[in-house]
Amino acid sequence: MTEPDPAETEAAAAHVARQLTEVGRLGVAFSGGVDSSVLVALAARALGAGRVLAILGVSPSLAADERTAAHRVARHIGVPVVEIETHEGDRDAYRANGPDRCFHCKDELFTRISTDVLTRHELDALAYGENADDVRRHDRPGALAAAAHHVLTPLATAGLNKAAVRRIARAFNLPCADKPAAPCLASRIPHFTTVSPRKLSEVERAEAALRRLGFQDLRVRHHGEIARVELPAEDLPRAVTAPLRELIHEAVTAAGFRFVTLDLAGIQSGAFTAAALQPAPTVSARAQLAEGPR
C-alpha cells in the first residue's frame, strides 16, 4: 500500500480548483466508490462543502450495502446527498445487455439529473469520477454518455490515475479509501443475457451473504442456475476448505442459484465488457488460431 503524499494531494486539489473557477455550485454523480468520493472531497475543498451536492442514483442495480456506504462517505466529507430514482430497467437497450449497457445506464442517470436536479438545486455544472486510467480503457461506454451530457471529468483532466486517487483518498481519510471496486450489479450478468430485477436481487443477496462470511473483494457472476464466484487468488484456498466451502454453497444457493462454482482465474474486473469490445482479430490472426499451436 502506497502512503499518501501531501504534495500530490495539494497539487490535485489545486488542479481541480482551477477547473472549477467558473462553477458556483457543482453536482457530482456519486456512488460512494473511491473515484467519486475523492472528486466530492476535492470539490468541497475547492468550493466549500455547501456548494457541492452528491447525487446518488438509486435503482435495482445499486446494492443496499453500497447505498448505505455512500451516505457514510458523504457524511464524512460533510456534503449533502440527494437521491434520485433512475429507471434504466425501462430501457429496452439496457435490458438487452449488450456491451453498451453502461452507456444506457449512465445516459439515464445524466438525463434524470439534468431534468430533475440541476435546476431545482441551482447547480451550474455536473461532474463524475472518471480517472486517467478509465480514459485509456476501451470497456467504458458510459464515458460516451458523460461526454454527450457535457459532464465534467476533473480527475481525468488532472491526470489522476487509480493509484493516485487511492492515495488522495487515504490523505483525506475517506472510509472508502481501501474499499474494493464495486461495479453495479448488472455487470455480473453476461452480455446479451437479459437484465432483470430478479437476477439483480439474486446477485445482491449472494454477494451480501459472502461478505458476511468474511470475503470483501468478490463478484458473483449470474449464469442462470449457476453462480460463478470470483475471489482474489489469496482467498481461493480457504474458500474450498471445509467448513467455509459448505457455508459458501449454502449462502449462494439460498440466494436463488442451484449450482455454485468458483472461478480459478480469480477477480476479473470488467471481464464481460472487455472481452465483448476487444478488436476483432485480423485475417492472419484468425488463420493462426485455426491452425492451432505449432
Q: Is the pLDDT reported for residue 207 higher than 90?
A: yes
Task: Work out the pLDDT band at 6, boundaries 50, 70, 90.
Answer: confident
Arithmetic mean of pLDDT, 254-265? 97
User: What percentage of residues in the chain have a pLDDT greater than 90?
Assistant: 83
Q: Are 158 and 127 in contact (CB under 8 A)?
A: no
From its phi and psi, is residue 220 left (phi > 0), alpha (psi between -120 and 50) or beta?
A: beta
Q: Where are the alpha helices (DSSP H) in the chain?
A: 6-19, 34-47, 64-77, 92-96, 101-116, 132-135, 142-148, 154-157, 162-171, 197-212, 236-239, 244-254, 271-276, 283-291
Burial 183-197 (b: 16+ CB within 10 A, else e): ebbbbbbebeeebbe
Q: What is the pLDDT, as a whole number, of residue 274? A: 58
Bigger pLDDT: 287 vs 187 = 187
Arithmetic mean of pLDDT, 240-252? 97
Task: Work out the pLDDT band at 273, boundaries 50, 70, 90.
Answer: low
Whole-angstrom distance between the N-terminal and C-terminal Cα of the chain?
42
Q: Which long-range contacts (CB under 8 A, 24 or more apart) does 236-240 make?
A: 236/262, 236/264, 236/266, 239/215
Q: What is the pLDDT, as a whole number, of residue 292? A: 47
Q: Is the pLDDT reported for residue 68 higher than 80?
A: yes
Q: Is the pLDDT reported for residue 251 higher than 70?
A: yes
Task: Work out the pLDDT band at 2, boundaries 50, 70, 90.
Answer: low
Q: Which of 113-122, 148-157, 209-218, 239-248 has the lowest mean pLDDT?
A: 113-122
Arithmetic mean of pLDDT, 108-136? 93
Task: Work out the pLDDT band at 272, boundaries 50, 70, 90.
Answer: low
Q: What is the pLDDT, as a whole number, of residue 268? A: 87
Q: Is the pLDDT reported for residue 113 higher than 60?
A: yes
Q: What is the pLDDT, as a whole number, of residue 116? A: 81
* CA 38 – CA 52 distance, rounded (Å): 13
Q: Report the mean per-residue pLDDT for the chain.
A: 91
Task: Work out the pLDDT band at 294, boundaries 50, 70, 90.
Answer: very low
Task: Work out the pLDDT band at 278, boundaries 50, 70, 90.
Answer: low
Alpha-carbon distance values, 179 to 35, 109, 159, 218, 222 (Å):
11, 23, 22, 12, 23
Q: Is the pLDDT reported for residue 4 higher than 90?
A: no
What secondary structure letter does DSSP report for 152?
B
Q: Is the pLDDT reported for residue 286 higher than 90?
A: no
